[in-house]
Amino acid sequence: MTGTAAQSPASAPLLDLHALVVAVRRRRRLWCSLALLGLLAGAAVAVLLPPSPAAVTQVLVAHRDDQPNDTGTLIRTDVELLGTTRIASQALRALDSSEKPEDFMRDYRGTGVTNNLLRIDVTGDSDAQAVARAKALADAFVADHVRRMRQTAEAEADALLDQRDRMRDELAEVNEAIGGRSPDSSDPKASASIESLFARRAELDSRIAEFDQRAAEARTGTPTVVAGTQIVDAPHAVRHSLVRTAATDAGIGLALGLVLGLALAAVGSVVADRPVLRRDVAAHLNASVIAELRRAPRRPAGRWRRRRTRAAGERLTATLARAVRGSAEPVSLLELGCARGTGLIALNVAGALAADGPVVVVDGLPGPELARGLPKSGGPAVMGAERAAAEPPEVRRIGVGSVAPGTAWTDLPHLGGRTVLVVRAGRGSTAWLHTVARQLADLHVTVLGVVLIDPDPRDRTDGTLWDGPRTAARGRDERPNRHNGKARTRVERPPVPVARVADGEQEAR
């Protein structure tokens, strides 16, 4: 084995994104179920709550102040004017309806398509009513817009004509002043005064002509605005496709359900704090992962997958059988979240050891899981701890117990002084894994290693403790080390806390 130094606990990240992604992926049933529920809910809404009958029309709106670089301010003003009680009242008056304008305003909306194109969407109890409402609204808006444009033009023209009349009055005074002067006067001052009066008269004539022209232009622009403001798309009912609506609503529901499911899975994973990676399980249990076993599929698997699962089970049985043969005292299997699987593993190991001599399986599980896994005929004997204690010393014993919450810790040493923990990934919390490691250490039960059940298929982390007191499937000082062909006493160093390491930091060769 080769490896780098372990990271210090202070360098461990506050939130392990790798572990979070793995935990969320393992809870795919939750977010897949919510996504499917959202899909079905969206489709059901489209079928059970169809949209109301609707109509649409488009109005071309001409403005006197149209500019090529307009950013849409004028059309936005028209949209807001459409949503006023004045337009709504005029439309209801044309429809001869007693509905309140405030209630009617909730049934339609305006949208500025371009700087001069206004779209009006209206809903009603039927297609005919929606079309009638759309026509009344469009007519009311056009009439109101034309009236406002005419009032603006008239007001501007009247203001210009008032200015012109004041200029004419002043011009009459100037003409009167000029007529009262003698043209043959030889006084230089009088000549200069007459010249200034003539200049003033010319200026007033020019400004009067200008005001006449501007007033005429103000009135001339109104017909252009009136002719340009018109309904360009006649009101018509909007046809709704049930299939398209159902597909759209189902897609929206699917997206919302998926996002909600992923969020719940992520929050639940962080709150639950259940390790799923090999490195985390090994670090919290202070024992190396010596083997892993995939969970049996719920549906029939292919021949290749069954063969691979069978080969993995045989390798696990052989590994545990070697560990039991090399141990001078009874070995137990303690489960956490996989009682049935642990019982089957114990029976398989006992069957592999039956060729070496008599073997009994000591049942220390709280439920009947081990009894369910017994073969119909033959196989190793299964008995309780009291009966197993009366067996002769040459009978090999394999204990099966549990370290799940509610465990009677004082009964575990009777199952075996050495143990292999069979842990299902993501079943125990970090605090409980620490409790298991501490309780086993206080009971002087040596942990040979961890068998991880149902690991993540994409987990590439290393489950070996590089700085732990036990880094292989053997007991402490069980086999002496040799140096230059001579036996040498192995000196155990004190336990060192193991910190999490990042993926790819260490590798077993």
**Residue 500 counted as domain residue:** no
Q: pLDDT value at position 295? A: 67
Q: Is the pLDDT of residue 4 over 60?
A: no
Residues 46, 72 within the same domain:
no
Residues 123, 46 within the same domain:
no
Residues 323, 396 within the same domain:
yes
Q: What's the token pair of residue 287?
A: 């024992």
**Residue 402 counted as domain residue:** yes
Q: Is the pLDDT of residue 42 over 90?
A: yes
Exposure string over 288-303, b if 16+ CB within 10 A, otherwise e: bbbbbbeeeeeeeeee
Segment 240-291, tens digit of pLDDT: 888 998 999 999 999 999 999 999 999 988 888 888 888 889 989 989 998 8
Residues 291, 319 within the same domain:
yes
**Residue 252 counted as domain residue:** yes
Segment 374-420, tens digit of pLDDT: 555 556 788 877 787 777 878 888 889 999 998 889 889 888 889 99
Exposure of 227 in the CB half-sphere (CA atoms within 13 A): 5
Residues 233, 351 within the same domain:
no
**Residue 504 counted as domain residue:** no
DSSP 291-334: EEEPPPPSSPPPHHHHHHHHHHHHHHHHHHHHHHHT-SS-EEEE
Domain CATH code at residue 457:
3.40.50
**Residue 509 counted as domain residue:** no
Domain count, the chain: 3
Using alpha carbons, select from 123, 89, 87 the residue that is nearest to residue 106.
123
Q: Is the pLDDT of residue 478 over 60?
A: no
Question: Residues near 111 by Cβ (< 8 Å), separated by ≥ 6?
Answer: 79, 118, 119, 121
| Residue 507 binned pLDDT confidence (cut-offs 50, 70, 90) | very low
Residues 361, 263 within the same domain:
no
| Residue 32 binned pLDDT confidence (cut-offs 50, 70, 90) | very high
Residues 25, 69 within the same domain:
no
Q: Is the pLDDT of residue 135 over 50?
A: yes
**Residue 397 counted as domain residue:** yes
Residues 281, 372 within the same domain:
yes
Segment 50-109, tens digit of pLDDT: 888 999 999 999 887 777 777 788 899 999 999 999 999 999 999 999 999 999 999 999
What residue numbers bound the domain in which 194 lies? 54-239
Residues 173, 254 within the same domain:
no
The pTM of the full predicted model, rounded to 2 decimals, is: 0.61
Residues 253, 227 within the same domain:
no
**Residue 508 counted as domain residue:** no
Residues 71, 125 within the same domain:
yes
Residues 340, 456 within the same domain:
yes
**Residue 288 counted as domain residue:** yes
Question: Residues near 112 by Cβ (< 8 Å), separated by ≥ 6?
Answer: 72, 75, 76, 78, 79, 118, 119
Segment 441-476, tens digit of pLDDT: 999 999 999 999 988 888 888 888 775 544 444 444
d(CA 408, CA 251): 52
| Residue 221 binned pLDDT confidence (cut-offs 50, 70, 90) | low
Segment 140-190, tens digit of pLDDT: 999 999 888 888 778 777 788 888 888 888 888 878 777 766 555 556 666
